[in-house]
């Protein structure tokens, strides 16, 4: 970073900014990623200024030419970012003035860095949300593809991490599809509030120039303008809302990650994760560690922390803009980067999962997973549910004491727990029978799971 005297407000001060203060207050190291959006917003602003007769047509021509050159310099890595110019906006304006002279100085007419940065961040976040929506969709397709191959693969469903009832592996995977579906809906709804134009609010009170904010909004693809100038420059709700959405997505992926880690453990051995997503040990040759899902768990705390940081940043802030708000960008950028990378790698990791149906089925045979089916069977025979519950509990205790499954008990023994038991009881004690009996929307019956996958794929493609 080279340096250059900052003339933006130097006339007001009798001494230069302290070098340490300069470094402490500068944001160019991280906000320079806003450059494409700053240029985009400046082009729209200049177009409006010319249309309103505030700047000359030649000024607009020069501004466009200069900004296009700056954009190219940035793309080619030839742009010199100056620490003394503090942020992305002043760096671009300084270079523009060097390229086109007075026209560059006229670009800032009718705007402030307060509404300028608010606009840039909204453009950036809108773009990021659009890319993240694609990332969520890609992960949903990965889940659907895996689920479609395992509609009839039976595994134990758990509550309290204890065997509860049998479910299909596809049904279990589709629970994560539903979480991601809600995530996609949330982030799409968040985008509506991101897509409002603050430009034109200037520093805090608007501007005395005869501007047309609606024209800029249309040029930039915003749905409308921020209706209050004070709120326009100080609002960071849209960043907090997005970060809350990101934290929820990461939380869902951390839950999925925890299950992948458990399922990969040799004690369960339900799945294997492809080697390219794992690492070994520096001392134990046999180790294959699920580093990617472990890191997803860890990075979830990072994104959650960004949300808390932003909420704390805005707590008790008076209107309008305050320098505190410079601290909004790093948590936002980090959340976007972390979530983008996580979605991308998670999609690939799901595609690389190898399922071990025999291990899943064996585990489903433990823990008396069909006990509820036996209770339901007795209820259908006329026994009140609480009585059926007690009868089956006694049967489970006997089976446990004799180290056998309910399906291995003789008909005579089962009749001791309830005389309503008949020859047809064994059909409900099988894993397949248990799944098939839950034949309703949202149930784990293969027919319903297959329908859910078909509907989900149709919704994504529609």
How many of the other CB atoms lie within 10 Å of CB of 363? 21
SS3 assignment, position 353: strand
Report how far apart the first and last C-alpha atoms of the chain are (Å, whole number): 49
Dist. CA 140–CA 204, nearest whole Å: 43
Q: Nearest Cα to 82, choosing from 73, 95, 97, 71?
A: 95
Beta bridge partners of 237: none
Grouping H, G, I as helix, E, B as strand and the rest as coil, residue 2 is strand
DSSP-derived pairing of the beta strands 353-355 and 271-273: antiparallel
CA distance 273 to 419: 48
Distance CA(159)–CA(137), nearest Å, equals 29
**Which is catalytic among the residues 160, 208, 316, 403?**
160
Phi, psi of 282 (to 5 degrees): -75, -15
**420-459 as b/e: b if 16+ CB within 10 A:** bbeeebbebbebebbbbbbeeeebbbbebbbebbeebbee
The verdict on whether 45 is a catalytic residue reads: no
The Cα–Cα gap between 83 and 3 comes to 6
The CB-side HSE value for 191 (13 A sphere, CA atoms) comes to: 17
Give the Å distances, CA to CA, from 133 to 130, 182, 237, 331: 5, 12, 20, 20
Q: How far is CA 459 from CA 138, 146, 170, 177, 456, in A?
A: 13, 17, 18, 12, 5
**Residue 422: DSSP 8-state:** -
Answer yes or no: 229 catalytic: no
Contacts 24+ apart (CB under 8 A), 418-427: 418/378, 418/381, 418/383, 418/388, 418/391, 420/378, 420/381, 420/382, 420/383, 421/378, 422/381, 425/374, 425/377
Select which of 10, 80, 281, 440 is catalytic. Answer: 281
Catalytic residues: 160, 281
């Amino acid at each position: 970073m080279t340096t250059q005297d900052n003339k933006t407000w130097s006339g007001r001060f009798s001494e230069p900014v302290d070098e340490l203060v300069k470094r402490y207050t500068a944001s160019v190291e991280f906000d320079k990623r806003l450059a494409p959006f700053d240029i985009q917003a400046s082009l729209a602003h200049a177009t409006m200024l010319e249309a309103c007769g505030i700047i000359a047509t030649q000024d607009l021509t020069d501004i466009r030419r200069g900004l296009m050159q700056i954009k190219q310099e940035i793309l080619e890595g030839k742009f010199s970012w100056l620490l003394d110019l503090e942020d992305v906006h002043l760096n671009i304006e300084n270079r523009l003035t060097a390229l086109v002279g007075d026209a560059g100085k006229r670009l800032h007419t009718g705007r402030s860095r307060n509404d300028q940065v608010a606009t840039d961040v909204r453009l950036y976040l809108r773009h990021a949300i659009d890319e993240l929506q694609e990332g969520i969709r890609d992960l949903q397709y990965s889940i659907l593809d895996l689920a479609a191959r395992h509609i009839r693969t039976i595994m134990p469903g758990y509550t309290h991490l204890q065997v509860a009832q049998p479910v299909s592996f596809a049904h279990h995977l589709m629970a994560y599809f539903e979480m991601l579906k809600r995530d996609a809906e949330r982030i799409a709804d968040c985008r509506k509030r991101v897509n409002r134009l603050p430009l034109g609010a200037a520093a805090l009170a608007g501007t005395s120039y005869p501007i047309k904010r609606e024209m800029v909004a249309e040029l930039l693809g915003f749905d409308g303008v921020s209706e209050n100038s004070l709120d326009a420059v100080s609002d960071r709700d849209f960043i907090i809302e997005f970060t809350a959405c990101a934290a929820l997505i990461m939380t869902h992926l951390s839950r999925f990650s925890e299950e992948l880690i458990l399922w990969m453990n040799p004690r369960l051995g339900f799945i294997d994760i492809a080697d390219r997503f794992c690492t070994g040990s520096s001392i134990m040759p046999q180790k294959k560690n699920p580093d990617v899902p472990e890191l997803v768990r860890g990075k979830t705390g990072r994104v959650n922390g960004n949300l808390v940081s932003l909420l704390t940043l805005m707590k008790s802030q008076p209107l309008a803009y305050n320098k505190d708000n410079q601290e909004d960008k790093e948590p936002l950028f980090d959340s976007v980067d972390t979530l983008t990378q996580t979605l991308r790698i998670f999609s690939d990791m799901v595609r690389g999962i190898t399922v071990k149906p025999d291990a899943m089925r064996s585990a489903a045979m433990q823990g008396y997973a069909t006990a509820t089916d036996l209770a339901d069977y007795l209820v259908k025979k006329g026994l009140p549910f609480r009585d059926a519950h007690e009868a089956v509990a006694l049967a489970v205790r006997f089976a446990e004491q004799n180290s056998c499954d309910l399906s291995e008990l003789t008909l005579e023994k089962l009749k001791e727990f309830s005389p309503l038991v008949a020859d047809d009881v064994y059909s409900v004690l099988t894993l397949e029978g248990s799944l098939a009996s839950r034949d309703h929307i949202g149930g784990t019956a293969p027919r319903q799971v297959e329908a859910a996958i078909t509907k989900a794929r149709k919704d994504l493609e529609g």
